[in-house]
A and B are shown apart, each in its own frame.
Chain A
């Protein structure tokens, strides 16, 4: 628990970060930047779990445990996405969304 900082402030911060991530996911034109935006979204929920655990329900460690698993899964996700991006880069020589896309409606 951080002295002088209430849970409202931290949750507001994570909500803002979350929507920055969603905005980045929609507007970015580069696969790596999209991946970074997704990481931002995942990490806001990590902070959320830790903060809610610490401030509201400090008797059990459910939130802390959950956040550890999110971090591990996020790492796996990033590794896989980067592997696929490298594959695409070898094939097309670019990581821009516009260059990658061949299938449209």
Chain B
């Protein structure tokens, strides 16, 4: 094993380098120039994102603990773009509130550490690496949720998140210990050959699944979502709903389609019920939300239910549609959270009622919001439609007609509440509309990337073909 083989961990090594550089910058740069760290971090991460798209061969390291292939590599690139957009959108908030408290560097270090955990999680080749990656990705986010120490809700969000995350990982660990007991190994490759259906295996699998279901907030495990999203800073709510959920859905798909494939006839039925419950409860609760962050939280729970539809197939088509849908979902939700953040930065308003008459004063912002909500709802010209369409096609091709029908019913419900926001912005006049404001350059760039993603991902079909081609690795 020579040093060159470590280049397989290029993403991880370069991100670790950025974290170390930021720590050095925090020490070396004098206090009055601290705000330049913001630009430095953005520049470094931009380079990291661009370099990440260079091709990488398929291989494994550390006796199979760490693996990488073209699909994992592609998804890491998507996560990079997501985090970069998120940083652009939150630059204004950071500069205003955190840099003068000298806490901006911590924000970047914690966020990048969490992303590093996600890399390890989706590249994991055994349960130990998977568990460590999951914990590295969760713990910094809890600290970030409690980041605005002057706000009481922020602390509440942090403690709710860390306690439920710890419970979820505890339950998950208990399940993994049972899988270890029946299979005698924690390596995915070994488990795949020895896994058979027995009571202990099933109990272990269900408990293990509960831990990941918490991360993507499926319905029996969704109670933390709305509270944490509302209390945490918007950048972190956005990170949780976009990056964290996307990565967890991705690794769950890899695990279900490779290691846990022998149990497929069991988890099919389980996911069937969970998908229906998640879609209905997410959508019905979203109907009655006033706060935009809570509203987007419930809408993101419902979107997780749609992702489950793709899991049910277990085929190459299913893999491709899930990756495609998650990619589109990342861009759409980032756009929605970006607009909420832009408005909250300027005025501090977060309720749906405050958005009335927004089109008259800030037409461009409301157009971005409209595109994002159309994409989340799945209205034809934008990317979200194609994501949902392929997902439903994949599920229908396996014969789940009733489930697809229920999903379409849910799309209709979700269209209703997405249109509520659009009505508030475009139709209602509003007594006290938000006055016109000009966004900072970074925020504009961040919104522009998401709009480009929403429009291009649907129209540019070679991308879907590329995803379909690389997703052959799982089957």
Contacts and interface: CB of A to CB of B under 8 A. Distances in A.
Interface of A: 18, 21-22, 25, 31, 34-35, 38, 41-42, 44-45, 48-49, 52, 56-57, 60, 62-63, 65-66, 69-70, 73, 76-77, 80-81, 83-85, 87-88, 91-92, 100-103, 105
B396 interface: no
A70 B177 CA distance: 12
B152 A80 contact: no
Interface residues of B, number: 39
B7 interface: no
B163 A80 contact: no
A41 B186 CA distance: 20
B138 to A, nearest CB: 9
Contact of B156 (A62, A70, A88): A88
Given A77-B139, A77-B166, A45 B156 contact: no
Given A41-B171, A56-B184, A87-B146, A48 B156 contact: no
Contacts of B285: 105
B64 to A, nearest CB: 12
* B-side interface mostly: helix
Contacts of A42: 166, 169-170, 173
B170 to A, nearest CB: 4
Interface stretch (B101-109, B225-233, B266-274): B225-233
8 contacts: A52-B180, A73-B169, A76-B135, A81-B162, A84-B155, A84-B158, A102-B153, A103-B226
A72 B226 CA distance: 30
B226 A105 contact: yes
B163 to A, nearest CB: 6
Given A80-B142, A103-B231, A45 B173 contact: yes
Contacts of B149: 87
A45 B177 contact: yes
Given A44-B174, A45-B173, A87-B155, A63 B166 contact: no
A73 B174 contact: no
A60 B186 CA distance: 11
Contact of A48 (B135, B157, B177): B177
B153 to A, nearest CB: 6
B186 A81 contact: no
A70 B166 CA distance: 11
B219 to A, nearest CB: 14
Residue of A35, A57, A70, A102 with highest tally of chain B CB at under 10 A: A70
Given A63-B180, A77-B139, A80-B139, 4 more contacts: A31-B159, A62-B128, A66-B180, A69-B132
Contacts of A57: 184-185
B228 to A, nearest CB: 9
Interface string B172-186: 011011101100111
B157 to A, nearest CB: 8
Nearest to B132: A69
B221 interface: no
A38 B173 contact: no
Interface string B130-165: 011001000100110010010011011111001100
Contacts of B143: 80, 83-84
Contacts of B155: 84, 87-88, 91, 100
B179 to A, nearest CB: 10
A9 to B, nearest CB: 15
B231 A45 contact: no
Contacts of A100: 155-156, 159
A73 B132 contact: yes
Given A48-B177, A69-B128, A87-B149, A81 B171 contact: no
A76 B113 CA distance: 14
